[in-house]
Structure 1
C-alpha cells in the first residue's frame, strides 16, 4: 500500500497547509496593536516617572510600571502557549505571602522587584518591539502577494511598488498573460511571506521560552521506563544464566557427538584377555 505524505510535510510548499503557520501569523497580527499599547504605556511611565521623580511620585510610577510588566508578561505567556505551541507556566520565584497579597504593601513591592521573573518579563516586553518591527515585513509581502494572486480576476490592474527617483513604480497588467504572470509572482510571494512568518514567530517563541516562564514538561515517565527496561534486562540475563547452568547440568545425559551412548567406560583393547573374559 502506498502511503501519502501529509501536505504540511512537503518541502517549501507544505507551509501553506500547516495550521501552525496561520497561528503564528495571527500572533504577529496581534503583536502590532499590542506594541502600540506597550509603547504608549512605557512612554507615559518613563516621561512622568522621570519628571516627577524629584517629588517621589515619579519613583512610584516607575515601580508601578515595572510591576505592571508582570501582567503584560502573563498575557504574552498565554499568547505563546496558544499560538506558538509552547507549554509555559509562571516562574515560582515570588514569595507566597506577596503572591497572595497577605503581606504589607512595601514587602509586596520589594518581593516583586526582587523576583527575577519580573525583570525577565520586562525584558521580553522590551524586546517585543523588535519582533513587531520585523513582523511588518511578512505582513507587507503577504498583502502585496494576495493582490497579485487575484490579478487574473481583476485586470486591467496597475499595482504600485513604491517609488523610484521620486516616480511611482507601477506594473500595468492589461492582458491575460500578464495577469497569469502576476499570479505566479504572487504565489511565490505568498510562500516567501509565510516562511518569513514562521521564521520571525520562531524567534519570538525562543524568546518566550527563555524569558516568560518554565516548561511544564516532566521526564519522570521516561525515567520510570528506563528503570523498567533495565530491570527487565537484568531478569533476562539472570534467566539466560540459569538456562545455561541447567543445560550444563544436563549435558552428561546428552549423546556423544557421533550419536553413540555409553553406559560405562569402553574396554581397553590392549588389556589382558582374561580380564575381558
Structure 2
C-alpha cells in the first residue's frame, strides 16, 4: 500500500522532470502549424483536382494530392512514434504494376481516404493543442512570475495580450505584497503541474487518434471484421 501511494505521488508531482512530458509538448506545439499546412494543401489540391477533373489538368492534380496525403500521413506516423511513443505501423505507397494500376489503387484504396481524413482531423487537433498550450501556459506562467513582478511596474495578469503599468493584477486579484506574491507563486506551481498533466492527456489522445486512423494493422483488422459480417 505504501509503495502504491508513493508511486502515485511520484507520478503526480514528477511530471515536470519526465522527458516524455517535453516530447509531448513539442508534438503539441507542432500540431497547429502542421495541421494548418495539411488543411490548406489538401483542400486546395482536392478543390483544384475535382474542379478541373473535366480537363486533363485536374486528374494529375487530384492524384498528386492524394499521393501527397498518403506520404505525409507516413511522416505523421513516424513523428507520432518518435515523440509520443506510439506504434503506428505503415507501408510505403504501392507503385507496382505501372502508372495506371498504381493510380487506380490510390483512388480506390480505403487507406488513401483514411490518410486524407486524418490530415483534416490533424487541423482540428492542432487548433485544440494551440488553444490549450497558450491558455494553460499563460495562466501558469503569470502565476509563477508573481514573486518576481509584484512590486515592479510590469503587469503580469491572467489576461492575454495586455501589458500595462501596475502590480500583478487580474480582475479583483491584486498582488502587491511579498507574502501574497509567494502564495500566488505556489498556486502557480500547482497550476503548472496540473496543466502538464492535462497537456500529457491531450498528447495521449492525439496519439490514440493517430494509431486508430493511420495504423495499417488496425485498418486491416477493421476491414476483416467488416468482411466477416
Query: For this structure pair, what is the TM-score category when the shorter chain's length is used for normalisation?
Result: 0.7 to 0.9
Separation in 2, partners of 1:58, 1:13 = 55
Which secondary structure does the structure 2 equivalent of 1:103 belong to? coil
Deviation at 1:125, TM superposition (A): 1.2
User: Is 1:158 aligned to residue 155 of structure 2?
Assistant: yes
Q: Secondary structure at the match of 2:86?
A: coil
SS across alignment from 2:158:
strand
Contact 1:131 1:200 in 2 (8 A): no
Mark the runs of 5 or more structure 1 residues left unpaired by the alignment: 216-277
1:192 to 191, 194, 197: 194
Give the Å deviation of 1:63.
2.7
Q: Does 1:85 align with 2:111?
A: no
Match of 1:62 in 2: 62
Supply the distance in 2 between the matched residues of 1:179 and 1:7 (Cα, whole angstroms).
31
Match of 2:37 in 1: 37
Q: Distance in 2 between matches of 1:9 and 1:105?
A: 58
Provide the aligned C-alpha RMSD in A. Answer: 3.0
TM-score (norm 2): 0.75
Structure with the bigger RCO (C-alpha within 8 Å, sep 6+) is 2
Please, what TM-score do these two structures have when normalized by structure 1? 0.64
Note if contact 1:89-1:213 (Cα within 8 Å) is conserved in structure 2: yes
Please state which structure has a larger fraction of its residues in helix.
2
1-side partners of 2:201 and 2:38: how far apart? Answer: 23
Q: CA deviation at 1:31?
A: 1.0
Q: What are structure 2's unaligned runs of at least 5 residues?
A: 161-168, 218-229
Instruction: Give the equivalent residue in structure 1 for 2:137.
Output: 142
For residue 213 of structure 1, report the CA deviation from its aligned partner: 2.2
What SS class does the counterpart of residue 127 from structure 1 fall into? helix
